[in-house]
């Protein structure tokens, strides 16, 4: 079965702290893609990153970084020096060849950055 | 501007009163889909369409209908809404082709309340 688990329902930190959002996935496919989406308080879903199963290089974009580890089936997201504007719900999602017509989403993690 | 437009943003209705949520995209995407978002469940796919006149069920299609008469439009129809359809709904689109690696472009969401 294809499944994405975000075990952290809610996280609250003080501004400027680093925070890591966990994502664990299950799939039997050898070829798949992983995604992160951000949902700010305004409600829209914003695409952040896509990573394919053959590329385990970590990626950094400004204060955001992603750690993909196939050995542990994890695709964790770290925000460095968090800011209040990072407050949002973050979703991890999985796409795979057999189920190419949908993304399988995790339950989401609500991140609150307190000033 | 490339976008997916949903209307209305907010809708309050009563049980059994038929309603339609419209979705339109201007990116000439072949693939369109509807998701619903519920607390603790993430996003779940309702229906999807791979092209004009081609639609198929997602994970939670009961109580919903869709149509794809034109490439740009993909309305979601609730013939007889019930309170368990109270949710946040998202329309999304993407290019077809190598579908499983293309990020979805989401609309801004429609918050539906059925009393």
pLDDT score of A30: 87
Contacting A residues, span 4-23, partner chain B, CB-CB under 8 Å: 4, 6, 9
pLDDT score of B1: 82
pLDDT digits (tens, 9 = 90+) for B35-50: 999 998 999 999 999 8
Of B33, B101, B109, the CB nearest to A50: B101
pLDDT digits (tens, 9 = 90+) for A45-79: 999 999 988 888 888 889 999 999 999 999 999 99
- Are B108 and A43 in contact (CB < 8 Å)? yes
Of A44, A100, A105, the CB nearest to B109: A44
A43: left (phi over 0), alpha (psi -120 to 50) or beta: left
pLDDT surpasses 90 at B9: yes
C-alpha to C-alpha distance for B115 and A76, rounded to whole angstroms: 39
How crowded is residue A59: how many other Cβ atoms within 10 Å of its Cβ?
13
What percent of chain B stands above pLDDT 90? 83
pLDDT digits (tens, 9 = 90+) for A27-42: 988 888 899 999 999 9
SS3 (DSSP) at A67: strand
pLDDT surpasses 60 at B99: no
- Are B90 and A50 in contact (CB < 8 Å)? no
pLDDT surpasses 60 at A84: yes
- Are B101 and A96 in contact (CB < 8 Å)? no
What phi and psi, each to the nearest 5 degrees, are found at residue B83? -55, -30
pLDDT surpasses 80 at B106: yes
Of B88, B101, B106, the CB nearest to A33: B101
* Average pLDDT for A1-18: 95
- Are B31 and A101 in contact (CB < 8 Å)? yes
Question: 3-state SS string over B66-109?
Answer: ECCCCCCECCEEECCCCHHHCEEEEEEEECCCCHHHCCCEECCC
Contacting A residues, span 86-115, partner chain B, CB-CB under 8 Å: 91, 93, 95-97, 99-103, 105-108
pLDDT surpasses 90 at B19: yes
SS3 (DSSP) at B6: strand
pLDDT surpasses 80 at A98: no
SS3 (DSSP) at B25: strand
pLDDT score of B97: 63
pLDDT digits (tens, 9 = 90+) for B53-95: 999 999 999 999 999 999 999 999 999 999 999 999 999 998 8
Q: How far is A14 from chain B (nearest CA, A)?
A: 24
Q: Which two tokens stand for residue B8?
A: 């209305």
Average pLDDT for chain B: 93
């Amino acid at each position: 079965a294809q499944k994405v688990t975000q075990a952290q329902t809610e996280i609250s930190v003080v501004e400027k702290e680093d925070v890591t959002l966990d994502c664990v996935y299950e799939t039997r496919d050898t070829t798949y893609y992983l995604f992160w989406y951000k949902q700010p308080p305004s409600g829209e879903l914003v695409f952040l990153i896509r990573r394919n199963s053959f590329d385990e290089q970590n990626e950094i974009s400004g204060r955001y970084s992603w750690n993909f580890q196939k050995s542990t089936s994890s695709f964790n997201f770290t925000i460095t020096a968090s800011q209040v504007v990072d407050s949002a719900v973050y979703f991890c999602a999985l796409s795979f060849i057999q189920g190419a017509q949908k993304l399988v989403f995790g339950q989401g993690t609500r991140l609150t950055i307190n000033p | 501007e490339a976008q997916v437009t949903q209307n209305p943003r907010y809708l309050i209705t009563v049980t059994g009163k038929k309603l339609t949520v419209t979705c339109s995209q201007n990116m000439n995407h072949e693939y369109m889909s509807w998701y619903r978002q519920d607390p603790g469940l993430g996003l779940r796919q309702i229906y999807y369409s791979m092209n004009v006149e081609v639609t198929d069920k997602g994970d939670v299609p009961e109580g919903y209908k869709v149509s794809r008469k034109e490439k740009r439009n993909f309305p979601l129809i609730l013939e007889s809404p019930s309170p368990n359809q109270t949710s946040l709904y998202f329309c999304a689109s993407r290019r077809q082709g190598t579908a499983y690696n293309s990020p979805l472009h989401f609309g801004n969401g429609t918050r539906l309340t059925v009393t």
